[in-house]
Structure 1
């Protein structure tokens, strides 16, 4: 007997959608090619004692009444899955030669801190922050499902917002004539997007920056608990989350998708899975190519013609007998750059694979919550993240595994040199474990084409009105993915919940 919903992939948006549908009494089956559910949200253990999340770090929209909280309440998980808030007085610590800035939740405090460093630019700084707040409000109004009355009531904010549809963050910096150092301090969390200011959509930056101001969070029980809780809702309501099932073909009759063929990665047996409705959590472009791009409408084909986001380099490290709080780390992330011009820094690392003056993020998950996890009491986890070029690493890996490994080690050592020089002088003496991941690691473990970290790249082209949504133009087939919604923890919750809302008419996001 066919399920009500067959979901291809178990990323967060898929698990949210599946859990909501299962909770509503629908039979849900999820197929996942990896051994763990969760996509980039999955958790893995190394050396039998160190546990890491694949990529998620801090998140937003988790406060009372916000998207994540609304979904968890509907699923009865809001008491089980709770969040710890980052320091509101400085949730992001920005560090660069000659300047530093702790980003606070309060916009007035942010302006004051910037003006203290750039007193000749007070008006420009204030006007820029005011414009960011206006655009953020306008984007909330324009967020689907759009309410015409709300548009009319806030027409001025909407009009201002629409003016920036094709703007990069750099365009807006230039418009308000902010000094370069102030630009860098404001945009230094660029690893959250893996794009520099001259490529990054102003919309994408404004949403994330202000959302974190409203509240940056980390799960009390770590991300593994979030994934497991959603999976449990599906299983407890008669659904199935089947891992190690690699979808190799879609079952299509004319322009109706009826199911998929999948290979069991253990037995190598092929099975057909069918359902009344197919939800595609795998990359939409990849799925469309498997189905046959010509089967989709011209409008959807155009939306599927997106660029993939850049990929990343990740280092997961463990230190022993060292308290990172003594060296300026705590309930915040640290973003560092050696190059004041982030556009130049990105170009050097991404285009020329030169990490001699790196710009990178530092996160310390064991300092964000007191909850137990698989890490000895005398150890702490510290992780480093920066951009990396997929084509370069793929060619290097194919050419020589030794050269590939050496390049990863080189990047980590260049980062560690800076960390020891400016943050923790003896860090290497306390390192008891380290493992690095490259764009090909993303591709292997998360099935993301070109190792992309965020689906479609967060450029103005991909963030405008032509962005792909849930509609595929095929019967019984819907997209539910970062590229057909938005990437990140809260946005994937929103993507999954919004599709549930559209298919069930059960309103949980606050808009009818």
Structure 2
């Protein structure tokens, strides 16, 4: 049967799109090659009792009236899916030798805390933070539907934002002459991008930093509830989410995409699926190669030439009979670096594969909500995240699996050494479970090319006006994922919602 919308991949943006279309009465079918829906948002269980989310840690735009809330209201899920807010006095705790800064929601408080740490640079700090919020306001104007009166009213903010289109975060730090230690504290959530200041788009940093200031959140019942609720909306309205269906070919007639061919990863049976409209949630580059890159317009071919984002190392751990709140953890994330120059720290880990002085993030999901379904009583989850080089780990895995496993253990132990030195002296005594994932794990379980964590890399080149959009130039075929929108929980929500609005004419 030919359906209205055939969606290839069940990442968050496609689940949002599918749920909205199904809710509007359209016939929706989603094909997912994994055994779980949700992409990087899926939840998995280990040892039959410990539950972890694949990659999502904290999110923004979940407050009343914001992006995620508006979509949930449209779907009637705003009462079922609720969120807990991180500590507004310090949602990110930045730590480095000799310095500590808790990032607050209030901008004036942030300026004061930085000024107290760097009194000789108070003016440059003030000017930098003011510029950040001016650019954020300008980006909101530039990314909104064109309204001449609104553009005229905020013309200056738009001009200020446009000046930074090719700027890295490091460029702007240098422009305002911030001291290196202040730069490091402000940019220490770099694992959220997996790029150092000299490579990271200033736009990308501004959007994330200011959005988390407006509110950092975690789902009350964990991310699995979000994924399951979206799937339920689709299925309740007559749609289907078919798992273990790997797309091996696109059915194309000239420049019109009519459907796909899949192979069932369990039964190995092949099947053709057709639809009036095909939504591509899989990596656009990968899809384009399967279809034939020459079938796309020259402009879309250029947009498809993006670089992939770096990948990551992730360790999922469980401690027993230890309350992490007694050691400085709570409703916030912790970011730590041993090397104070983040550009150098990134190079050591990503280029030289040297984690002896790591820079990394620490998240503690069990402290963010009273719903403790993720582990047994007297246990708490603690997770560690940093960057890792895909090619390096791929070669280790292909040539010597023992060395591959040893490298993962080495990285985790070097991180644990730092954690025991500065935060939890006896952490290893309480570890009852640990498992580490590498870039090849990302590729294997989430089917992301080169293990990329965010689709296209968040550099100025990939964040500018030439960025890929939903438009593919082919008939009946649209992109809908992090590389054709933006990565992260709220941005992928909005990517799916925007495509829904464009194709349906409805307004959220």
Deviations 1:378-426 (A, max 9, x none): 1000000000000000000011110000000000000000000100000
2:294 & 2:195 partners in 1: Cα distance?
32
Deviations 1:59-107 (A, max 9, x none): 0000000000000000000000000000000000000011010000000
Give the deviation of 1:146 after TM superposition. Answer: 3.5
Deviations 1:6-50 (A, max 9, x none): 000000000000000000000000000000000000000000000
Tell me the SS of whatever aligns to 2:471: coil
* Aligned twin of 2:385: 385
2:365 & 2:183 partners in 1: Cα distance?
27
Give matches, 1:207-226, under 5 Å: 207-226=207-226
* Aligned twin of 1:118: 118
Tell me the SS of whatever aligns to 1:470: coil
1:147 & 1:263 partners in 2: Cα distance?
47
Give matches, 1:76-95, under 5 Å: 76-95=76-95
2:444 & 2:311 partners in 1: Cα distance?
13
* Aligned twin of 1:326: 326
Give the deviation of 1:142 after TM superposition. Answer: 1.3
* Aligned twin of 1:418: 418
Deviations 1:407-461 (A, max 9, x none): 0000000000000010000000000000000000000010000000000000000
* Aligned twin of 1:22: 22
* Aligned twin of 1:409: 409
Give the deviation of 1:125 after TM superposition. Answer: 0.1
Give matches, 1:421-460, under 5 Å: 421-460=421-460
1:473 & 1:319 partners in 2: Cα distance?
51
2:213 & 2:234 partners in 1: Cα distance?
33
Tell me the SS of whatever aligns to 1:77: coil
* Aligned twin of 1:195: 195
Deviations 1:304-326 (A, max 9, x none): 00000000000000000000000
* Aligned twin of 1:340: 340
2:157 & 2:443 partners in 1: Cα distance?
40
8 Å Cα contact 2:366-2:374 kept in structure 1: no
Give the deviation of 1:156 after TM superposition. Answer: 0.1
Give the deviation of 1:144 after TM superposition. Answer: 4.2
Give the deviation of 1:147 after TM superposition. Answer: 2.9
Give matches, 1:271-350, under 5 Å: 271-350=271-350
2:16 & 2:138 partners in 1: Cα distance?
26
2:141 & 2:240 partners in 1: Cα distance?
37
* Aligned twin of 1:482: 482
2:118 & 2:291 partners in 1: Cα distance?
55
* Aligned twin of 2:177: 177
1:8 & 1:352 partners in 2: Cα distance?
37
Deviations 1:219-266 (A, max 9, x none): 000000000000000000000000000000000000000000000011
* Aligned twin of 1:239: 239
2:33 & 2:463 partners in 1: Cα distance?
29
* Aligned twin of 2:469: 469
Deviations 1:291-350 (A, max 9, x none): 000000000000000000000000000000000000000000000000000000000000
2:134 & 2:144 partners in 1: Cα distance?
18
* Aligned twin of 1:253: 253
Tell me the SS of whatever aligns to 1:478: strand
2:45 & 2:486 partners in 1: Cα distance?
28
1:5 & 1:464 partners in 2: Cα distance?
30
Deviations 1:448-502 (A, max 9, x none): 0000000000000000000000000000000000000000000000100000000
Deviations 1:161-206 (A, max 9, x none): 0000000000000000000000000000000000000000000000
2:31 & 2:431 partners in 1: Cα distance?
38
Give matches, 1:357-396, under 5 Å: 357-396=357-396
2:150 & 2:304 partners in 1: Cα distance?
30
Give the deviation of 1:371 after TM superposition. Answer: 1.0
Instruction: Report the TM-score when normalising by structure 2.
Output: 1.00
Instruction: Report the TM-score when normalising by structure 1.
Output: 0.99
8 Å Cα contact 2:338-2:358 kept in structure 1: yes
Give the deviation of 1:151 after TM superposition. Answer: 1.5
Tell me the SS of whatever aligns to 1:233: helix
* Aligned twin of 1:154: 154
Tell me the SS of whatever aligns to 1:29: strand
1:149 & 1:41 partners in 2: Cα distance?
39
Give the deviation of 1:278 after TM superposition. Answer: 0.1
* Aligned twin of 1:129: 129
